[in-house]
Structure 1
Amino acid sequence: MGIRSRRMPALRWAIPVVAVGLIATGCGSGDNGSTAGVSSSLGSSSDINPKNADELRDGGNLRLATTSFPANWNTLSTDGNDAEIGDIERPLMPRAFNTNAAGELTVNHDYFTDVQLTSTSPQVVTYTINPKAVWSDGNPITWEDIRAQAKALDGTDKRFLIAITVGFDRVEKVERGADDRQAVITFKQPFAEWRGQFAGNMSLFPKSVTADPETFNKGLVDNMGPTAGPFLVQSTDRGQGRIVLGRNPKWWGDKPKLDTITYTVLDRTAWVQGLQNNELDAVSLSTIDDATTVRKSSGVVIRRAPGNRWRHITFNGAPGSILADPAVRVAISKAIDRQGIATAVQNGLVEKPKPLNSHVFLEGQAGYQDNSLPFDPAAAAKELDALGWKLNGDTREKDGRKLVIRDVMYKDDTWVQIAQIIQQNLAQIGVKIVIETKPGAGFFTDVVIPGDFDATQFVFVGDAFPLSSIPQTYGYDPGDWQNNFGHIGSEELNTLIDRMLSELDPQKAIALANEVDRKVFEEGHSLPLTQSEGNWGVRADIANFGSPGLASYDYTKIGYLK
């Protein structure tokens, strides 16, 4: 779960679910929302108003919102590893597998006629590319695109500013198969989650982007490169904050129902009003006020299925940081009332608010278990005393340095509310929190990646491939931090992660993943807070779009009812 997102939208990046995806108020017969997802967990439901293509009209523009213009359209890069950019690119880029609500996989035949594990000793995976598949510049998709991306992401050439290796650091070679439309990947070490290398939140990019470090890092800063989906980038206007996706004339699959998908850059606080004013067609809902407003609005419904995004707080453990000592981070973690946070921000949005208790799995996902540290402020105070952080007035102090923590976040009412709860919690044990809010634009490139925080809050995104992003987020590699923004880890944890990723037995891999998770808690790396409610406000006449859970969208079938 390593794809990131600066905000809590209504998807593993950073990114990327509660047991019940229910808006508790107004769920009777008069509620203008569906009942799918009620009393369900992630992995069992989605709520997208499913309809057959023949029930939809041809044409139309789907109007969506995003909080900032992409800093880099290359989502494989550190600057572009953002869930919102990933959302925009979903209808544009190839993926090897589709996912249903249960997280079950099927080969995406638009791009690959077959994807097979053809050997286990050594591990070999063979990708057979659809012979019709072409990039928007007219070049065919070939094995060379797969080879170039595998090389860029293997971590050996540090000039590539990659966000995640996705197991390509375990690849020995990529070779041409029967013809240019087949790639054969041979692994030097087993990789448990090989299906996720070009799936989930990871798409295939053309070799024109991935073969050269300079192009990889900066070539897509201003504009998207060649794409290969049912849609392509029709126009962009950074000044107006507008991105328009149009039908791809070279698309070989089913013709999309929509003519266009338009993204408008809007502050998160304006999304629901945009829906209410018929300026947007679908927005994620993150507060009870959002839900109440949508419920009172005509022509819109609430779609609800447990979500796959999760809020967390990451600590800065870099040398010199106020939180460099893992024992201090662990003590502070024990003093944060995560249940109190869940109750405060999700009351009325879910039936029984509860914190997320795993860094790896979402609740409802196979493998999820509670590996968290207990909420124990008394123990936290004693531990800080033993570490030499003594109370001096209201704030602890050691060697003349006060225990003051800068908590930095995207400017969003819910994030600030969470920070204020943490502020109150930690004040009880003599730790002072200073809340700093930042605009969405440049939040990662200017604040998080450079480490300009003591603690920072943002969203990770989960998907059907929870193990692939563990090294990027929790691995300790001082020369290549990827998504480990707090620079926290250990060789012991690295060894455990390596064992987990090398385990081809799924149940054994899950057990090892939970060992990893417990160790991440014990290092005070970060604290999961809450899983997203997965509630969306969507115009009532839109089909095959809404709250998908773990399922992937078919963008050719999203559209308006006749």
Structure 2
Amino acid sequence: MTIQYSRRLRGIAAPVLAISLLVAGCGGGDDDVRSGSSDVGQPSEINPRDPADLREGGNLRLALTSFPATFNPLHVDSDGDVSTVVGWTLPSTVTADEAGVVSTDPDFYSDIRLVNTNPQQIEYTINPKAVWSDGSPITWEDLRSQANALSGRDTGFLVSHTQGYSRIEKVERGADDRQAIVTFGQHYAEWRGLFSPLMPKESTATPQALNDVDRSRPAKSAGPFMVTAIDQGQKRITLQRNPKWWGNAPKLDTVTFSVLDSSARLTALQNNEIDAVDIYGAEEAKSAGSSPGIVVRRAPDATNSHFTFNGAPGSILEDPRLRVAISKAIDRKTITTALQNGVVIDPKPVNNHIYLEGQKGYQDNSAVVSYDPAAAARMLDDLGWRLNGEVREKDGRQLVIRDVMVQQDRQVQMAQIAQQNLAQIGVKLVIETHSGTDLFTKVIDPGNFDIAQFSWGRSLFPLGALEQIYAYNPANNLSNKGRVGSPELNALIDQVLSELDPEKAIEMANQADRMIFELGHSLPVFQGAGNVAVRDNVANYGAFGLSSADYTKVGFVK
């Protein structure tokens, strides 16, 4: 299933049930916070229009994969749908252009500066007009509370990630309540990605607050929109203009999110029941493009599909050598061609866990898992998994692997090709589908799988994913869904994140990526195509690529 993903949140990676987008910000900029490379990304297709050419008001209707398990995007239960909704409602630190170059978001911060390197210190000066939806000011205390909750020092906080925050030594009041001075105990290379999004201190004050305050609805907002109605029965969420918003007035009156099954998405768009939907495959693109009043907007997005392996103690794939053997038997090129032929030019697998092709730092580190079924079969023999009929066995146990995923045709097609590949070497892959509502909370997060299929939304700050997804701490899994890692990888990740020289950090990140492949942590498959079918009268919305959305400019042409 697809997710209309938040265009504000770039500080973290988030799980996506299919192939979607994780980006951030709105506004303009400050050179002190600039980062990125001009060779990253491709032009977006959003039907850019001057807001003066748009009509006042209107309701933008979008689709969700599942109803959010929480409205706190910092909580471990959050996912892409959470980010989709709160991206319209929460503060961010940065905005990004089409090349993925970021700068300070002036709606929320007057200035963000690296003011010292020994120790590393960042000075955040909050926009004096910035307030929460109850009228209370956004202050340094909100940053301090969030830094404490995400530090990892109190494991009672069930957070989705700690990267960067675990290195913060203290957050202090600056010249006034509108300024925060953040001091690091260790250097953090990707400091620009912190506090995106920012939650109010009431939502991060205690573990119970993080878990409960925003569980059923957001407690506070600070973006151009705010959640005003939640219909659990109809699985619908309504956003309206935030009356306390201090920035440019939005063109839309409301935004409505409805949970829709993937099979119903395109039909709903064609029947004028929703206004935009991510699409996959040549047939969907052709059908959408030939429908009256609908256009297909295209820009490769910052996501990648993958197979995540469960290596937890006692799991059938606990041995990293077995995970690598399974990886070598899966034909990623065939999967990529089958799912993206006619959708993207020259479909090819992603061969890096950290960077996408075209990003500075991307290189192919996948040699250890290159497709070689004969070698995979030999590895299984050496590990004691011997053929007994059509399925291998070891110590009386058959090599039967459960592959879990959301119920969606493309996910199943991906699994079926892997199933055929693995059958050739005596491995039985059982395909198990679940609803989008249950997949993470009831299956993946509890570790009730052998292989899990979903996608990661990549960040403009890719190094942060190293700690969030690939480092492993048994006491706090964060987003390491398969519980796979090693002390050596943890140590290297720590070095990467401490390196303030970007070139050295890239070199070490690729060393870490090779270790991730060698551990059989997960197997990346392909980058999201980024095609979005949109009603043709929708402006400043669609395929954003690596750029940010300005939600105040989204609307309908006159």
Number of the residue aligned with 1:313: 307
For the 8 Å contact 2:39–2:360, the answer to whether it is kept is no
Structure 1: which amino acid aligns with 2:184? F
CA distance in 2, matches of 1:41, 1:237: 44
3-state SS, counterpart of residue 420 of structure 1: helix
Question: Equivalent of 1:74, from 49, 72, 75?
Answer: 72
Q: List structure 1 segments (4+ residues) > 3 angstroms apart after TM superposition.
A: none
Number of the residue aligned with 1:287: 281
Question: Equivalent of 2:340, from 339, 342, 346?
Answer: 346
Q: CA deviation at 1:386?
A: 0.6
Question: Equivalent of 1:226, from 220, 244, 264?
Answer: 220
For the 8 Å contact 1:153–1:162, the answer to whether it is kept is yes
Q: CA deviation at 1:295?
A: 1.4
CA distance in 2, matches of 1:12, 1:403: 36
Are residues 1:51 and 2:45 paired? no
CA distance in 2, matches of 1:290, 1:185: 48
Question: Equivalent of 1:362, from 346, 356, 361?
Answer: 356
Number of the residue aligned with 2:16: 5
Matches within 5 A, 1:125-524: 125-199=122-196, 203-372=197-366, 373-524=369-520
Q: CA deviation at 1:369?
A: 1.1
3-state SS, counterpart of residue 469 of structure 1: helix
For the 8 Å contact 2:294–2:533, the answer to whether it is kept is yes
Structure 2: which amino acid aligns with 1:73? F
Q: CA deviation at 1:463?
A: 2.2
TM-score after normalising by structure 1: 0.93
Partner deviation per Cα, 1:86-121 (whole Å, 9 max, x = no partner) = 011111000011011111111101000000000011
CA distance in 1, matches of 2:246, 2:393: 65
CA distance in 2, matches of 1:135, 1:290: 41
CA distance in 2, matches of 1:294, 1:518: 40
Partner deviation per Cα, 1:133-175 (whole Å, 9 max, x = no partner) = 0000111100000000000000000110011013111011000
Q: CA deviation at 1:238?
A: 0.9
Gaps in structure 2 of 5+ consecutive residues: 1-11, 25-37
For the 8 Å contact 1:136–1:226, the answer to whether it is kept is yes
Q: CA deviation at 1:12?
A: 5.3
CA distance in 2, matches of 1:12, 1:472: 15
CA distance in 1, matches of 2:352, 2:264: 32
3-state SS, counterpart of residue 103 of structure 2: strand
Partner deviation per Cα, 1:62-99 (whole Å, 9 max, x = no partner) = 1100011110111101001x112101111100001101
CA distance in 2, matches of 1:285, 1:198: 31
CA distance in 1, matches of 2:513, 2:546: 21
For the 8 Å contact 1:488–1:525, the answer to whether it is kept is yes
Question: Equivalent of 1:105, from 102, 107, 116?
Answer: 102
CA distance in 2, matches of 1:510, 1:549: 22
Partner deviation per Cα, 1:10-44 (whole Å, 9 max, x = no partner) = x159x9xxxxxxxxxxxxxxxxxxxxxxxx98513
CA distance in 1, matches of 2:518, 2:555: 47
For the 8 Å contact 1:2–1:470, the answer to whether it is kept is no
Gaps in structure 1 of 5+ consecutive residues: 16-39
Are residues 1:63 and 2:61 paired? yes
For the 8 Å contact 2:171–2:180, the answer to whether it is kept is yes
**Among the aligned pairs, what percent are the same residue?**
55
Number of the residue aligned with 1:35: none
Number of the residue aligned with 2:117: 120
3-state SS, counterpart of residue 198 of structure 1: coil
For the 8 Å contact 1:463–1:550, the answer to whether it is kept is no
For the 8 Å contact 1:101–1:550, the answer to whether it is kept is yes
Number of the residue aligned with 1:531: 527
Structure 1: which amino acid aligns with 2:446? P
For the 8 Å contact 2:19–2:303, the answer to whether it is kept is yes
CA distance in 1, matches of 2:52, 2:58: 15
Which moves more between the two structures, 68-77 or 46-55? 46-55
Q: CA deviation at 1:8?
A: 2.7
3-state SS, counterpart of residue 513 of structure 1: helix
Partner deviation per Cα, 1:308-335 (whole Å, 9 max, x = no partner) = 1211110000111110000000011011
Q: CA deviation at 1:427?
A: 0.5
For the 8 Å contact 1:55–1:561, the answer to whether it is kept is yes
CA distance in 1, matches of 2:147, 2:385: 47
CA distance in 2, matches of 1:474, 1:8: 20
Q: Considering only aligned residues, what root-mean-square deviation do their CA atoms show, in Å?
A: 1.4
Structure 2: which amino acid aligns with 1:414? R
Q: CA deviation at 1:471?
A: 0.8
Which moves more between the two structures, 367-376 or 396-405? 367-376
Partner deviation per Cα, 1:268-298 (whole Å, 9 max, x = no partner) = 1111001100111110001222112101200
For the 8 Å contact 1:166–1:196, the answer to whether it is kept is no
CA distance in 2, matches of 1:442, 1:159: 23
CA distance in 2, matches of 1:305, 1:41: 15
Pairs aligned (count): 532
Partner deviation per Cα, 1:190-237 (whole Å, 9 max, x = no partner) = 0000000123xxx00000000111010122221111010000012110
CA distance in 2, matches of 1:455, 1:469: 20
Q: CA deviation at 1:442?
A: 2.3
CA distance in 2, matches of 1:182, 1:175: 9
CA distance in 2, matches of 1:549, 1:357: 20
Q: CA deviation at 1:301?
A: 0.6
Partner deviation per Cα, 1:462-509 (whole Å, 9 max, x = no partner) = 121111121111001010101111110000000110010000011111
TM-score after normalising by structure 2: 0.94
Number of the residue aligned with 1:22: none
3-state SS, counterpart of residue 185 of structure 1: strand
3-state SS, counterpart of residue 194 of structure 2: helix
CA distance in 1, matches of 2:341, 2:106: 42
Partner deviation per Cα, 1:364-383 (whole Å, 9 max, x = no partner) = 21111111131111111111
